[in-house]
Structure 1
Amino acid sequence: MRHAVVLSGLLGVAGVAALVTGLQPATARPPAVQATALNQAAPARALNQARVAEYRGVRIPVPAGWEVHRLDLDPTRCVRHDRPAIYLGRPGPEPDCPARLIGGAETLHIEPLDGATGASGASGTAQRGRAVEMRVAKLARFTVRKNVDHQVRIDLPEAGASVTGVYGADTDVLQTVIRSIRLTAEWITTPPPSPLRGGTVEGESSVAPLTERAKSGTSRSWGKGRGFDTCTAPSKRAMAAWRRSYSVVNIYIGGASRGCSQPNLTRSWIRAVRRMGYRLIPTYVGKQAPCNRDNFRVHFKAGTAAAEGRRAAAAAVARARALRIPRDMPIYFDMEAYSSGKAKCRRAVLTFLDAWSRALADREYVSGVYSSAASGARDLGRANGITRPVAIWFAHWDNRPNPYATPYLRARWWHPHRRIKQYRGSHRERHGGIALNIDSNIVDGHVY
């Protein structure tokens, strides 16, 4: 998820054009959906003569320029948050995601609601029809409230589906599309989710916290070895196939700029891969530097940097706890490369990361930061009067797998056992018959 530039110039919903028959994506993947005319009037800010994607009784207007993908027809499709799109169905267990994505685009993902059942008989249909009317009325008034992860979820039991929406710099486009959703009174059930997906964080039983804790001077929250990071957590099958080649893997646990959905990332997935012998790098991808407006949609302002750093830390800890990542374990903030030579921007980043580290310490987690060696990592090393992160993960793509081989960081900074180096950028590797797009890392630092 490194240094990617997201699409710019997202077209507003009001500018939607009519769709020709069928959606034909540019690639050779299967067509996403067939489109139909929108029969009901949309809210005042919504669409005229819009394309409409249909899934399990949910009918969604498709803004101009948005892609539409049917995951049941295309199970390796990656649910990306870096370009406007609608995804329909459950993602497959092994999505083909790029290694490097930064999110911030408006997306919708509609998938079956666990435990929902379809309508049966005239009486059931009539009852569902009344429920549908009430639900549509609520959707027409729905307000997307801003939150630190830039994400909302709406359960639609009348259609046996749930809707997850992601927004970028503001909520207007996503809110307009959600308010334009229409439901039908009948839908057809689909097969239960694949056991490879593992279930959701909220639905799993609690587990006893691990006893592995960092101790002063003799911490075992650090590890050594070869690591990789990729946009979405691979399947358990893929993790088992890759275990002989790698011992550390990054996981993106949340954040407004997270580039992909995480259908595999659950408590049971974490337990399983740790039992395989993996160590984990929990990473939160939040708002980016204020001077990165041209590269990333979601960024913080210089005047609110400290407050945003504290909010990011609180949200990251909440996600870590939901995944049963215990206290005294590291959480890294992904601060992508920025214009370090711009003093105002540099000060804002350091203020943000100072607040991040302090807030994590207050919550008894170990602070870490990922950034470019030439910007965030070097600026943190040089800075005075701030709380530096306990651990650093830096990108320096020189193809040298040595965490201490970089001219940008002094040897005494984050030494020993507090460094991770990303030494090679996006590329494709195959192990055990399974290929993934990854970045390569060498680890002598804090991991879970």
Structure 2
Amino acid sequence: MTALRSATAVAAAVLVAAPAAGSAEAAPAGSPDTKTVTYKGHVFQVPAAWPVVDLAVDPQACVRFDQHAVYLGHPGEQQVCPPRLIGRTEALLVEPATAAAPDREGSNPVAHTILANDGVVAVTGTYDTDQPLVRRIITGAGLTPESAHQPAPAPAAPRTAVAPRSTIAAAPPSDLAMAAPAAASASIPASATNYTGKGFDACTAPSGATMNAWMTSSPYRAVGIYIGGAKRACAQPNLTASWVQQQQAGGWAFMPLYVGVQASKIASPATEGANAADDAVSQAQALGFGPGTILYYDMEAYVAQYSGNVLGFLTAWTNELHALGYNSGVYSSSSSGMKDLATNAGNSAYTMPDAVLSANWNGQEDTNDPAIPAGYWSNHQRAHQYASPKDPETWGGFTIGIDQDYLDIQLTGAPPSQSSGFFLGVRQSSGNWPGFSPLAGGAGVFRGAEAAVAGLPGGSSQELGIGLDGQLYHGVRAANGGWSGFAALPGIGTPTMAARRAGIAGLPDGSSQVLAIGNDGNVYHQTRFANGSWSGFAALPGIGTATMAAGDVAIAGLPDGSSQVLAIGNDGNVYHQTRFANGSWSGFAALPGVNSPRMAAGRVAITGLPDGSSQVLAIGNDGNVYHQTRFANGSWSGFAALPGNGVPTMAARTVGIAGLPDGSSQVAVVGGDGNVYHETRFGNGNWSGFGAVQGPYGASTFPAQRAAIAGLPDGSSQLVVTRS
């Protein structure tokens, strides 16, 4: 059969005034700028210029979200859609709730969709720049849009090791951040996105009957499917998890494509790229595609002025996919996207995708591309969209408008997990943990061994990280969540500061106090003033010595502008001193231990509270966590062991503690088993008990090297974790 429709059918499907079979009507409303469309008892006031397409009259009509329209009824299996459609504008699909296969995106600001369903009708609204218009139309019809959420992909399955597969000089893949629907089980093997041979892509997923006929009669064995994105133009009534399973069982390979924001509209490359990847993984998981799958970003041709934003966006896309265990692919034109990727393949500022799909309509059924040197993406990592025929193709009696592709894709598994990646999680004042997102460095996620974090009065936080290069880096997270990225701190007469450990504390005037143990083993201090300038590092004196040799340091700010400093001396004992608000120092003095004149320890942490007291943690030389209070008058409670989970002591590798405005403290430790645990010390001195902290993307535990925590004025706390 042919899927092509006639002009007569199109005309019959577009309603201008008269009702169709009592199911829909389009008639002038009170305003000359709007008209009324009624469907199953719901009245929609839509712009008068919008055509209304009755899918019961023409079930083969292409439901296109790249043009203003109202579509009534359920899209047919044999939609006739041209290839090469891209874009999304204000449009509505209104269908019976019983027939609807709701768009998996739901009300999704990343994908520009609004979904509503009252059990009678289901509405999918799309938008470009006028989201309020679509929302008004839906709510005006008595429907309640689903809540909008940020993308949150379901947990990724355990990753598999990957064999070397590229000679390309790419930056290391990273572990880079709408209630997403529950993910289907990963029923589709990652190998289903591998294939060598001819394929095609179409705007909407063809029917099962079409796919069966083409498998039998056509030369194609791979199909490109558009799984989501803010610029996905065509509705996808056939694209379900069962459809994917059926096609995979029938012998088809897949090119999952995500078509989101395009070059000229990218405003925040890192954020938008990561959000797109999160949403793409949500959509892929809902279809049954698990870790190891290649997900391709469709970045259409663009002019050179947007190259920087595109490369930053695609870096974030790749980093975030790698963090979730997925392989990254990029589709773009040979003359723009492919050219930019190849030109910057050796640039450590950018992370390269694992596979590329080049659009170069030269008619050659191969993977050669003049923009890509032969040695790049050379290990079965290329595909080529070689033609975009003007006329649809017919095989086995079924016709589809397609683009033609040739694939040589054979990736061997999921990308390797990124140890040492920095993740930031926020514990809300309510006690909820929304989850973790990666902290970006110069090339993808920042990676290192040591972390420290401090909260500031305005709601911002400042992070320190010691990178894998052994240098000290600093970054600022704004109160609105914006991230500055990490920048290297200068040393004493050197452009960078080599460091082993670091600590940071915020003060009421907006300044922060920074400590670092340099490569020489001595403690150094400097101030970051509220205006963002720095005092420069200077060595702290020890006890009767010009410098203080130490193995660990910690610092906390107090309401009077003073700071409390802890250091583990080179004798293995804990020392304390005060930096007064005027900048003078008390000098170090040893702290007593439990029934001993000295407290031997391996790690320390300290935080200040609103009453002027401080809370201190230390990991003793027995490997257990100890706590004590320094009262506002300068006296001490003495160290006592903290209980663990059902055991009298809590074994730990690192400790962190943060004070909150209500007088409570938040404790984060990396336990003896290598996972992150948290507990609260309430203002009355009681303890909640330790509980495991969930890892990124829904993991039940968070294996880590280091956990640092800071309190903020709104009662929330920020936890920076160095992943192990």
Please report the TM-score for the alignment, with normalisation by the length of structure 2: 0.46
1:225 to 197, 200, 203: 197
CA contact (8 A) 2:27 2:37 kept: no
User: In structure 2, what is the equivalent of residue 89 of structure 1?
Assistant: 73
CA contact (8 A) 1:256 1:285 kept: yes
1:179 to 113, 116, 139: 139
Tell which structure's C-alpha radius of gyration is larger: 2
- Residues 417-428 of structure 1 mapped to structure 2, 5 A cutoff: 417-427=380-390, 428=392
Mapped pair 1:415 → 2:378: yes
Over the matched positions of the two proteins, sequence identity in percent amounts to 38
User: In structure 2, what is the equivalent of residue 295 of structure 1?
Assistant: none
2:260 to 283, 286, 307: 286
Which amino acid in the other structure matches residue 209 of structure 1?
Answer: S
What secondary structure is seen at the aligned counterpart in 2 of 1:277?
Answer: coil
Seen in structure 2, the aligned counterparts of structure 1 residues 80 and 114 have a Cα distance that, compared at 3 Å, is: same
1:253 to 200, 210, 227: 227
- Partners of 1:366 and 1:94 in 2: how far apart? 31
Which amino acid in the other structure matches residue 176 of structure 1?
Answer: R
- Partners of 1:282 and 1:145 in 2: how far apart? 21
Q: How far apart are residue 27 of structure 1 and its match?
A: 5.1
Q: How many residues align?
A: 352
- Partners of 1:425 and 1:332 in 2: how far apart? 19
CA contact (8 A) 2:342 2:371 kept: no
Which amino acid in the other structure matches residue 388 of structure 2?
Answer: G
User: In structure 2, what is the equivalent of residue 32 of structure 1?
Assistant: 15
1:380 to 341, 345, 353: 341
User: In structure 1, what is the equivalent of residue 94 of structure 2?
Assistant: 110
Summarize deviations over 1:298-321 as a string: whole Å, max 9, x none. Answer: x321xx111100000000001111
Q: How far apart are residue 176 of structure 1 and its match?
A: 2.9
User: In structure 2, what is the equivalent of residue 364 of structure 1?
Assistant: 325
What secondary structure is seen at the aligned counterpart in 2 of 1:80?
Answer: coil
User: In structure 2, what is the equivalent of residue 188 of structure 1?
Assistant: none
Seen in structure 2, the aligned counterparts of structure 1 residues 362 and 329 have a Cα distance that, compared at 3 Å, is: same
User: In structure 1, what is the equivalent of residue 39 of structure 2?
Assistant: 55
CA contact (8 A) 1:223 1:417 kept: no
- Residues 259-408 of structure 1 mapped to structure 2, 5 A cutoff: 259-290=233-264, 299-301=265-267, 304-340=268-304, 342=305, 345-383=306-344, 384-385=347-348, 386-404=350-368, 406-408=369-371
User: In structure 2, what is the equivalent of residue 98 of structure 1?
Assistant: 82
Which amino acid in the other structure matches residue 352 of structure 2?
Answer: R
Mapped pair 1:433 → 2:394: no
- Partners of 2:251 and 2:9 in 1: how far apart? 41
What secondary structure is seen at the aligned counterpart in 1 of 2:388?
Answer: strand
What secondary structure is seen at the aligned counterpart in 2 of 1:243?
Answer: helix
Seen in structure 2, the aligned counterparts of structure 1 residues 355 and 25 have a Cα distance that, compared at 3 Å, is: farther
- Partners of 2:97 and 2:63 in 1: how far apart? 17
- Partners of 1:356 and 1:430 in 2: how far apart? 36
CA contact (8 A) 2:181 2:282 kept: no
Which amino acid in the other structure matches residue 85 of structure 2?
Answer: L
| Higher helix fraction (1 or 2) | 1
Seen in structure 2, the aligned counterparts of structure 1 residues 206 and 306 have a Cα distance that, compared at 3 Å, is: closer
CA contact (8 A) 2:190 2:289 kept: no
Q: How far apart are residue 416 of structure 1 and its match?
A: 2.4
Mapped pair 1:153 → 2:115: yes
User: In structure 2, what is the equivalent of residue 125 of structure 1?
Assistant: none
| Higher strand fraction (1 or 2) | 2
Which amino acid in the other structure matches residue 274 of structure 1?
Answer: Q
Q: How far apart are residue 346 of structure 1 and its match?
A: 0.6
Greater relative contact order (CA < 8 Å, ≥ 6 in sequence): 1
What secondary structure is seen at the aligned counterpart in 2 of 1:358?
Answer: helix
What secondary structure is seen at the aligned counterpart in 1 of 2:48?
Answer: coil
Seen in structure 2, the aligned counterparts of structure 1 residues 275 and 441 have a Cα distance that, compared at 3 Å, is: same
Please list every run of 5 or more consecutive structure 2 residues that lacks an aligned counterpart in the other structure: 1-6, 19-24, 101-105, 144-179, 414-724
1:235 to 171, 183, 207: 207
Q: How far apart are residue 100 of structure 1 and its match?
A: 1.0
- Residues 123-162 of structure 1 mapped to structure 2, 5 A cutoff: 147-157=109-119, 160-162=120-122
Summarize deviations over 1:70-126 as a string: whole Å, max 9, x none. Answer: 00111000110110110000011110011111122111110011289xxxxxxxxxx
The CA RMSD over aligned residues, in Å, is 2.7
Q: How far apart are residue 204 of structure 1 and its match?
A: 10
- Partners of 2:302 and 2:335 in 1: how far apart? 9
